[in-house]
Amino acid sequence: MAETMGDHGYDYDLIVIGGGSGGLAAAKEAAKLGAKVACLDFVKPSPAGTTWGLGGTCVNVGCIPKKLMHQAGILGESFSDAAAFGWGVTSTGHDWEKMVTAIGDHIGSLNFGYRTALRDNNVTYLNAYGAFVDANTITATKKNGKVETLTSDKFVVAVGGRPSYLDVPGAKECCITSDDIFSKQDAPGKTLCVGASYISLETAGFLTALGYDTTVAIRSVPLRGFDLEIAEKIVGHMERHGTTFMRDSQPSGFEKTPDGKIKVTVTNTVFGGSFDAEFDTVVLAVGRYAVTDGMNLAAAGVEFNQKNGKIPCVNEQSNVPNIYAIGDVLDTRQELTPVAIKAGLRLVRRLFGGGTETMDYDLVPTTVFTPIEYGCIGMSEELAAETYGAENIEVYQSYFKPLEWTVNHAEHDGVAHREENSCYAKLITNLTDNERVVGFHYVGPNAGEVTQGYAVAMKMGATKSDFDNTVGIHPTVSEEFTLLSITKRSGVDASKSGC
């Protein structure tokens, strides 16, 4: 076996507990820097019995299958675009089983690739559940119950999170979550998505686009933490294009009917009245919790948030100096794959490579893959006003329609498939700091691709004049951000006509 880097007497220099995106990145990078590394990964089946391979949430039950199903929905919605451009295309409907199989095959290839990459980088991989005995010792319990004791100089906890269930009768017996929907073998049929999170809205969006009767139950505000104006635009767009929303609604019970459906008792959170509705599938997207329960963090002396199981850290270091955490298990940090990866890489470079760079959690770009996509960087309008004062911010905005959508005049139930001025660009600037851009918001197609580049500019402190001095690429949606001139406070109509 390989030698450890330090003369510490432990089995490993580093043990990474968790084989998701962040954990794998950290394990491989540490090994490249000469550390002797082991990586543990273990997936407990969901209440519905779903499990998956190496790679974590993003690869198996998150970003990757979500975006692929979102793409399937986009393709279906593009049939009317193709017809408008002269293509003789017709849809015979969508084959759910074929899509699930194709996506599953791709994910399987990724699982295999991750195991190969660990081996190629001399990382010891254990499909085992890790739990602390003390600050330098863990037990690794395999599926067959065999327990192995391992010691290490340092640990990185990267166990991620799992979906929460409502604490109401029948929730675990009748409902599924994002752990299950992407590998569901039979078509979901009439579906209820419970929750106002981006996971709920994204799921409802692609299910509607694939042709399923879909309803979203929202207890309070949609997309909490995002820009409120944008959130309402997204919900409005989804409502007009076929998704039903039950506002101020919270399921209070689930029950399986004799004919295999799910009876949902829904309670109005404002007036208190209840009613029953039946669905074929219910998807819960009501929050997530860190899967640290059972890891025996207390035995190692690690402090954690009792409410959500997350670990508070400073520069990814817990209160125990040799135990670190990255990714979704970190308290008060973004639950995003690229954040976990970058934090993991920078951490192990500091630990084993003499690096000094720490993770910067500010101005992290993200995209919500709802039917009309939403990309954002920095502050919402509400947070900017709260932080700097409403009188000290300027909001530039524009409503527009992408050129690619202009030839399609099809309607569905009286609603234009490609609505006028349905896309939106918004920049929020700090008037007291040379109009530095503190918030970027885009609603429209290819939001991730549009948003990513502007994140570089904002990390470099871009001001409104920097945007104005940049020549746009014509005709694109992204050029809209180089042309913004109408402010919200002016009261001028920001809708566009022509290109």
DSSP state of 39: E
Task: Output helix, strand, coil percentages for the chain, rounded to the nearest 5.
Answer: 35, 25, 40
474 labelled catalytic = yes
Spot the catalytic one: 106, 409, 412, 474: 474
What is the C-alpha separation between 364 and 336, in angstroms, rounded? 9
What is the C-alpha separation between 285 and 330, in angstroms, rounded? 20
Residue ranges in 78-130 assigned as alpha helix (H):
79-84, 96-120
What is the C-alpha separation between 434 and 451, in angstroms, rounded? 22
What is the C-alpha separation between 337 and 315, in angstroms, rounded? 17
**Residue 435: partners with Cβ closer than 8 Å, 6 or more residues away:** 394, 429, 463, 464, 465
What is the C-alpha separation between 430 and 385, in angstroms, rounded? 9
Cβ atoms of residues 310 and 300 within 8 Å: no
Q: Which of 66, 61, 22 is nearest to 41 (CA)?
A: 22
Residue 459, both tokens: 């990390």
Checking 318-324 for CB contacts under 8 A at 24+ apart, the result is 318/157, 320/135, 322/135, 322/136, 322/153, 322/154, 322/155, 323/135, 323/154, 323/155, 323/157, 324/154, 324/155, 324/156, 324/157, 324/351
What is the C-alpha separation between 130 and 331, in angstroms, rounded? 20
Question: Which residues partner with 49 through β-bridges?
Answer: none
DSSP state of 317: B
DSSP state of 246: E
What is the C-alpha separation between 156 and 269, in angstroms, rounded? 41
Instruction: Supply the residues annotated as catalytic.
Output: 474
